[in-house]
Amino acid sequence: MAFPEPVLTKRIPLNPADRKKVWYNDYVATGGYKQLRAALDMSGQDIIKTVTDSGLRGRGGAGFSAGQKWSFIPKEKKTTHYLAVNADESEPGTFKDRHLMEWDPHQMLEGIAIACLATQCDIAYVFIRGEFHHGTKVVEQAIKEAYHHGIFGNNVMGTGKKIDCYVHRGAGAYICGEETGMLEAIEGKRGWPRNKPPFPAIAGVFGRPTVINNVETLCCVPHIMERGPAWFKTMGTPSSPGPKLYGMSGHLNRPGVYEHELGITLQQSIDMAGGMKGGAFKGAICGGISMGVLAQHQLDVKLDFDDVRFRGGCLGLGTAGMIVMNEHTNMVRALRNCVRFYAHESCGQCTPCREGSAWMKKILDRIVDGYGKARDLEMLLELEKTMGSMPGTTICGLADGTAWATRTFINKYYDEFAAACPEETTKRVSLPISRGNREVATPMGSNTR
């Protein structure tokens, strides 16, 4: 396993001062759109096979095999197919897609065009979050260029194929990053995630088969087409191959977006970003705040889709947006921030997420204000297990974020939380809350803390 040179960021220098936007001419001059040309001569199935063989896993958080996702789209085309590009990057700690879109938009557009060919999509919607004013303008300009040069339109590169690509701006709702929430937003409705089945591959946006991919995933596609699945697998780990953008933020000397292969350790990633600033390492959010936190003793956890989960005790790698915190960080406040985010962004459809996250935020507000009680922690740990798509109590995975952030923060920094929540001196009559290791049934199964 080795990572000799940047792949996705090969046109974006590491030093911000050297960066220049890559417009169409620059992109073509550095070998751009050659893979689209090649893909036009391939069958859709061949493209899908190449991507499947590469083992590319979705970079949007869930890590689902991209090629497999494409293969769910009906082979026989009966109606319009859509591609929805998820550029609604709004999870705290995640800012890689913005980096790709703002500096090298054509790389994404080439990926979009190839994906459209593979899955016979007619129209691609790039769903960009509303706050990315700059990114939206850049992508819109790039699409304009692409239309002008026959990348999109009725006659893709002179072959008579038809692909359209449009920007659809979001308007400030994190839940629209959830794939079906995004589809609702494209349809002009409130972004309430849909129940599955039907899955988007069968009935997605406007009730038609829809592919949904993250920006970074699509950016990988031209490179896989160019250099083949075998090359792709030389990077990363066997289960999580390929390059990955790491969004390094927090208490670091040189925070920013760094590209490396999947599977580097947490320590390596911190070193990559210039090391800790202002104090020793205390903890790191490992992939957007929904994934949970890695503690001091977990610096050797490998950042890939599996090790973070199995050894790191987190939900997963997510988007690899790291928020690194130094020893002076107050973890209670950090958790309050995370839970406040989820309480604020809950779409309000499912009861556990709507009421539970707001309740947890109220408890944490009280703890931060200095009125914590010992049973608050037990309460939080019990509530946390009642929500999320993993126990099945919510439609989408937003509440899993609340759950995993709470679970990992409290368990890994229990002493700090306990100090903020002293034992009460006067007893109050109240229902027993699960304490200690007593087995208490929750929708997640029994309480296993």
Partner 1 sequence: MPKITVDGKNIECKDRTNILQACLDAGLERPYYCYHPGLSVVASCRICLCEVEGIPKLVPSCQTQVRDGMVVHFNSSKAVANQKQTMEYLLVNHPLDCPVCDQAGECLLQDYSYEYGRAQSRFEEDKAKKPKKDVGLNVLLYSDRCIMCTRCVRFTREVSGTSELYVDGRGHKEEIDIFPGKPLNNKLSGNVVDLCPVGALLDKDFLFQQRVWLLKRTPSISPVDAGGENIYLEWNDGKIYRTKPRYNSGVNKWWISDDTRYAYKAVNAPNRLRQAMKTELGMPTACSFNDAAETAVAKLKQIVVDHGQGSLYAVLSPMMPCEEAHLLGTLIRSIDPQATLVLGPVPRGDDDVFMNYLDGSETFRIQGEKVPNRRGVERVMQILGGKTVDFATFIASTSGATKAGWIAGGYLSDWIGTELPAPLKGGFKVVQDILPNELTRNADVLLPGAAWAEKAGCWENYQGAMQAFDAAVPPPEGARVEGKVFHKLLGRSGMYDAAAVRVSLGEPFVQAVLPTEVEMAGEPAFEFVEL
Partner 2 sequence: MPWIAEDRRNTRVAQSQPLLTDELKKQIADTYFPRYPNKRACLLPALHMVQHEYNWIPPAAMQEIAEFLEIAPAEVIDTATFYEEYWLKPKGKYLIQVCRSLSCEICDSRKLTDHVCKKYNIEVGETTPDQRFTVVELECLGACGNAPVALINDVMHEDLTPEALDAELNKLPDDPHDYKDPGIKFASGH
39 or 108: CB nearest partner 2: 108
Helix (H, G, I), strand (E, B) or coil at 17: helix
Site string for partner 2, 47-86 (x = CB under 8 A): ---------------------------------x------
- Compute the distance between CA of residue 231 and CA of residue 241 in angstroms, rounded to an integer: 10
Site string for partner 2, 164-183 (x = CB under 8 A): x-x-xxxxxxx---------
> CA–CA distance from 286 to each of 122, 157, 290, 305 (Å)?
36, 41, 9, 11
How near is the Cβ of 381 to partner 1 at its closest, in Å?
13
Cα 85–chain centre separation: 13
65 or 330: CB nearest partner 2: 330
- Compute the distance between CA of residue 273 and CA of residue 254 in angstroms, rounded to an integer: 5
Closest CA to 77 of 118, 47, 39: 118
Q: Does 176 bind partner 1 (CB under 8 A)?
A: no
Within a 10 A sphere around the Cβ of 1, how many other Cβ atoms? Answer: 13
How near is the Cβ of 128 to partner 2 at its closest, in Å?
10
How near is the Cβ of 212 to partner 1 at its closest, in Å?
21
Q: Does 402 bind partner 1 (CB under 8 A)?
A: no
Within a 10 A sphere around the Cβ of 322, how many other Cβ atoms? Answer: 30
Q: Does 407 bind partner 2 (CB under 8 A)?
A: no
Q: Does 446 bind partner 1 (CB under 8 A)?
A: yes
In the window 368-397, what residues touch partner 1 (CB under 8 A)? 379, 383, 386, 389-395
Q: Choose the one of partner 2, partner 1, none that binds residue 158, judging by a C-beta under 5 to 8 angstroms depending on kind.
A: none
Site string for partner 2, 313-342 (x = CB under 8 A): --------x-x-x---x---xx--xx--x-
One DSSP character per residue, 273-342 reads TT-BSSS-EEEEE-SSGGG-EEEGGGTT-B-STTHHHHTT-SS--TT-EEEEEETT--HHHHHHHHHHHH
Q: Does 21 bind partner 2 (CB under 8 A)?
A: yes
279 or 443: CB nearest partner 2: 279
Q: Does 257 bind partner 2 (CB under 8 A)?
A: yes
Q: Choose the one of partner 1, partner 2, none that binds residue 75, judging by a C-beta under 5 to 8 angstroms depending on kind.
A: none
Q: Which amino acid is at 98?
A: R
The residue within the footprint of partner 1, chosen from 344, 419, 422, 448 (CB under 8 A), is: 344
Q: 410: burial class by Cβ within 10 Å (0-12, 13-18, 19+)? A: buried
Give Cβ neighbours of residue 171 (< 8 Å, ≥ 6 apart): 130, 185
Positions that interact with partner 1 (CB under 8 A) = 173, 175, 190, 195, 343-352, 354-359, 362-363, 366, 379, 383, 386, 389-395, 430-431, 433, 441-446
